[in-house]
């Protein structure tokens, strides 16, 4: 533990891997006399030779002192005040190092707020973080890594480990269990034995957390591009029956197909770079919806949407799913039912405006269906040609294994269909 200095400093941490604006913030704070580091996930990702999603800064300067140094700065937050240094559309978040707190203090204020705003040293801040690999600090000005919790060793061994007793840390905030799933699946790390056992033991405590917060984490797992690994891990640790009992029961009955479906969803995410959340929700529950429709002997057609909407309603309410996302689930299943309908072939090509806007997403869902279950290639090609004929355009992407280029070239990054030349007249 302590400071890793050259020659221990890895040689794959060049200056050009650090965001220029983040470096400038660190440099100005350092020159002003404040100890300042890059902190958290950006340090981890640089060491793993990954591209950091964003750069966060930790410093001994208070938010007010940060604001005095940067004209392009605003202070946000109540429980824990943060300074946001703004560079156009980019925000560099600057947080004052947090310290330990005595919750037995006789202060009459809110203990949560008192805890959050208790500033401290870099060492104290590192100990308060969740996982060792997220507690590495990097001084880009002096090119030094600071490791107070053994995170660098875990990074080299590709191990995810909590800081301190795992059960205690997860009971403090059970949502950390989902964060552990996210890091393990995204980075391909193994869970330390104590961490793995505690995740299973404390899983029921997730029910005590805010439902919207938990649902947000589920969305992030599903849209991460590593959904298959994340859901498989949650299933193995008995977390999934608590979070998503319907999906857990479906995996009990049809594990291989469902995980394969999520794997193809990950392929789609890799091809497009991002997926809309309403589509991600539809993809998560589409295999379950097929089972419900089969159990009720519902023939393929526009009636699929109503049946699935009725079935999903209590799930959506329980999970606080946005109504617009539930409506899109119905619309997409409705369209897929029309795609697969064996009757009224000509009439089913008359789509309303909203259906045409949803068409690229529905075609993507049909493609996932084909790759997992097969048997709908003809329907896909027919509707793809319909979309081309009506100039509902998209940006081509490379075709994943198992489908032709013509089958794959149907979606743009945001799945937004566009009609050239404005709206067509109704005939």
For 157-176, the pLDDT digits (tens) are 999 999 999 999 999 999 99
**pLDDT of 5-44, one tens digit each?**
544 656 446 677 899 999 999 999 999 999 999 998 999 9
> What is the reported pLDDT for 351?
61
Q: What is the mean pLDDT of residues 41-58?
A: 92
**Cα Rg, the chain, nearest whole Å:** 25
Q: Which of 56, 147, 154, 266 is catalytic?
A: 56
Provide the domain count of the chain: 2
Is residue 281 domain-shared with residue 139, that is, in the same domain? no
Cα angle 43-44-50, degrees, rounded to a multiple of 5: 100
Per-residue confidence band for 274, with pLDDT thresholds at 50, 70 and 90 = confident
Closest CA to 339 of 308, 375, 372, 301: 301
Is residue 253 domain-shared with residue 385, that is, in the same domain? yes
Q: What is the mean pLDDT of residues 207-235?
A: 96
**pLDDT of 371-388, one tens digit each?**
999 988 888 888 878 877
> What is the reported pLDDT for 1?
54
CA dist., res. 74 & res. 84, Å (int): 5
Q: What is the mean pLDDT of residues 188-205?
A: 97
Q: Which of 54, 190, 201, 355 is catalytic?
A: 54
Percent residues over pLDDT 70 in the chain? 81
The answer to whether position 146 is within a domain reads yes
Q: What is the mean pLDDT of residues 404-415?
A: 38
Contact between 259 and 235 (Cβ < 8 Å): no
Contact between 9 and 145 (Cβ < 8 Å): yes
Which tokens in the block code for residue 148? 């107070």
Write the Ramachandran bin of 192: left for phi over 0, alpha for psi from -120 to 50, otherwise beta. Answer: beta
Three-class DSSP labels, 115-183:
HHCCECCHHHHHHCCCEHHHCEEEECCCCEEEECCCHHHHHHHCEECECCCHHHHHHHCCCHHHHHHHH
> What is the reported pLDDT for 207?
94
Please say if the pLDDT value at position 323 is more than 60: yes
> What is the reported pLDDT for 402?
40
> What is the reported pLDDT for 401?
38
The answer to whether position 186 is within a domain reads no
3-state secondary structure of 330: helix
Please say if the pLDDT value at position 424 is more than 60: no
* 56 annotated active-site: yes
Please say if the pLDDT value at position 410 is more than 50: no
> What is the reported pLDDT for 357?
67
Q: Which carries the bigger pLDDT value, residue 160 or residue 363?
A: 160
Which tokens in the block code for residue 107? 């202060």
Q: Which of 130, 147, 266, 278 is catalytic?
A: 130
**Cis peptide upstream of residue 176 (ω within 30 degrees of 0):** no
CA dist., res. 327 & res. 350, Å (int): 20
CA distance readout (Å), 269 to 28, 168, 234, 368: 38, 35, 20, 12
> What is the reported pLDDT for 78?
78
> What is the reported pLDDT for 3?
60
Which tokens in the block code for residue 357? 């806007």
Please say if the pLDDT value at position 301 is more than 90: no
Q: How many CB atoms lie within 10 A of CB 135?
A: 26
The least confident of 117-121, 247-251, 329-333 is 117-121
The answer to whether position 166 is within a domain reads no
Is residue 22 domain-shared with residue 121, that is, in the same domain? yes
Domain end call among 157, 187, 207: 157
Which tokens in the block code for residue 291? 């089972």
Is residue 257 domain-shared with residue 372, that is, in the same domain? yes
Burial label for 75, CB within 10 Å (0-12, 13-18, 19+), is middle
Is residue 271 domain-shared with residue 400, that is, in the same domain? yes
Contact between 54 and 141 (Cβ < 8 Å): no
Which residues lie below 8 Å from residue 129, measured CB to CB, with a gap of 6+? 40, 135, 149, 163
The answer to whether position 12 is within a domain reads yes
Domain of 295 in residue numbering reads as 244-408
Is residue 259 domain-shared with residue 392, that is, in the same domain? yes
> What is the reported pLDDT for 92?
96
Average of per-residue pLDDT values in the chain: 84
Per-residue confidence band for 249, with pLDDT thresholds at 50, 70 and 90 = very high
Per-residue confidence band for 349, with pLDDT thresholds at 50, 70 and 90 = low
Provide the strand spans (E) within 189-332.
190-191
Q: What is the CATH number of the domain that holds 135?
A: 3.30.460.10
Q: Which carries the bigger pLDDT value, residue 118 or residue 221?
A: 221
Q: Which carries the bigger pLDDT value, residue 92 or residue 411?
A: 92
CA dist., res. 234 & res. 24, Å (int): 40
The answer to whether position 59 is within a domain reads yes
Is residue 357 domain-shared with residue 250, that is, in the same domain? yes
CA dist., res. 34 & res. 54, Å (int): 22
The least confident of 128-142, 147-161, 340-354 is 340-354
Q: Which carries the bigger pLDDT value, residue 409 or residue 396?
A: 409
Q: What is the mean pLDDT of residues 41-67?
A: 93
> What is the reported pLDDT for 354?
56
8's enclosing H/E stretch is none
Contact between 56 and 41 (Cβ < 8 Å): yes
Residues in the chain: 427
> What is the reported pLDDT for 420?
40
> What is the reported pLDDT for 328?
92
Q: Which carries the bigger pLDDT value, residue 114 or residue 267?
A: 267
**pLDDT of 84-94, one tens digit each?**
999 999 999 99
The answer to whether position 353 is within a domain reads yes
Which tokens in the block code for residue 44? 């981890």
* 405 annotated active-site: no
* 54 annotated active-site: yes
Is residue 252 domain-shared with residue 148, that is, in the same domain? no
The answer to whether position 340 is within a domain reads yes
Is residue 264 domain-shared with residue 398, that is, in the same domain? yes
Domain end call among 124, 142, 157: 157
Please say if the pLDDT value at position 411 is more than 80: no
3-state secondary structure of 56: strand
Per-residue confidence band for 203, with pLDDT thresholds at 50, 70 and 90 = very high
Is residue 249 domain-shared with residue 105, that is, in the same domain? no
3-state secondary structure of 397: coil
Is residue 12 domain-shared with residue 147, that is, in the same domain? yes
Q: How many CB atoms lie within 10 A of CB 411?
A: 24
> What is the reported pLDDT for 400?
36
Domain end call among 138, 157, 176: 157
Closest CA to 265 of 371, 336, 396: 371
Closest CA to 61 of 42, 89, 85, 41: 85
The answer to whether position 191 is within a domain reads no
Which residues lie below 8 Å from residue 244, measured CB to CB, with a gap of 6+? 218
Most confident of 56-65, 268-277, 347-356: 56-65
> What is the reported pLDDT for 272?
85
Q: What is the mean pLDDT of residues 301-305?
A: 88
């Amino acid at each position: 533990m302590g400071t890793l200095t050259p020659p221990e400093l890895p040689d794959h941490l060049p200056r050009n891997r650090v965001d220029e604006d983040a470096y400038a913030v660190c440099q100005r704070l350092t020159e002003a006399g404040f100890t300042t580091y890059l902190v958290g996930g950006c340090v981890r990702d640089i060491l793993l030779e990954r591209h950091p999603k964003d750069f966060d800064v930790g410093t001994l300067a208070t938010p007010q002192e940060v604001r005095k140094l940067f004209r392009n700065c605003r202070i946000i937050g109540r429980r824990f005040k943060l300074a946001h240094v703004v560079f156009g559309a980019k925000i560099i978040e600057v947080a004052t190092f947090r310290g330990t707190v005595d919750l037995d203090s006789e202060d009459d204020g809110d203990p949560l707020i008192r805890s959050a705003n208790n500033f401290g040293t870099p060492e104290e801040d590192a100990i308060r973080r969740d996982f060792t690999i997220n507690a590495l600090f990097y001084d880009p000005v002096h090119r030094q890594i600071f490791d107070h919790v053994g995170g660098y060793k875990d990074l080299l061994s590709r191990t995810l480990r909590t800081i301190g007793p795992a059960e205690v840390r997860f009971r403090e905030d059970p949502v950390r269990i989902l964060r552990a799933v996210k890091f393990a699946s995204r980075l391909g790390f193994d869970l330390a034995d104590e961490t793995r056992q505690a995740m299973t033991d404390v899983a029921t405590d997730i029910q005590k957390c805010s439902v919207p917060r938990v649902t947000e984490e589920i969305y992030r797992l599903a849209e991460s591009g590593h959904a298959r690994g994340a859901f498989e891990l949650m299933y193995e640790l008995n977390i999934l029956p608590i979070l998503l009992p319907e999906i857990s029961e479906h995996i009990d009955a049809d594990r291989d197909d469902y995980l394969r479906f999520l794997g193809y969803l990950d392929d789609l995410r890799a091809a497009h770079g991002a997926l809309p959340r309403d589509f991600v929700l539809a993809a998560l529950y589409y295999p379950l919806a097929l089972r419900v429709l089969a159990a009720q002997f519902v023939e393929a057609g526009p009636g699929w949407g109503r049946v699935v909407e009725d079935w999903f309603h209590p799930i959506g309410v329980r999970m606080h799913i946005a109504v617009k996302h539930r409506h899109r689930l119905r619309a997409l299943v409705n369209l897929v039912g029309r795609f697969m309908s064996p009757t009224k072939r000509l009439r089913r090509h008359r789509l309303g405006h909203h259906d045409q806007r949803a068409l690229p997403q529905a075609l993507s869902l049909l493609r996932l269906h084909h790759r997992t279950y097969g048997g709908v290639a003809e329907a896909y090609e027919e509707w793809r040609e319909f979309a081309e004929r009506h100039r509902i355009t998209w940006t081509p992407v490379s075709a994943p294994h198992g489908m032709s280029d013509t089958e794959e070239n149907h979606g743009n990054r945001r799945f937004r269909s566009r009609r050239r030349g404005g709206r067509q007249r109704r005939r």
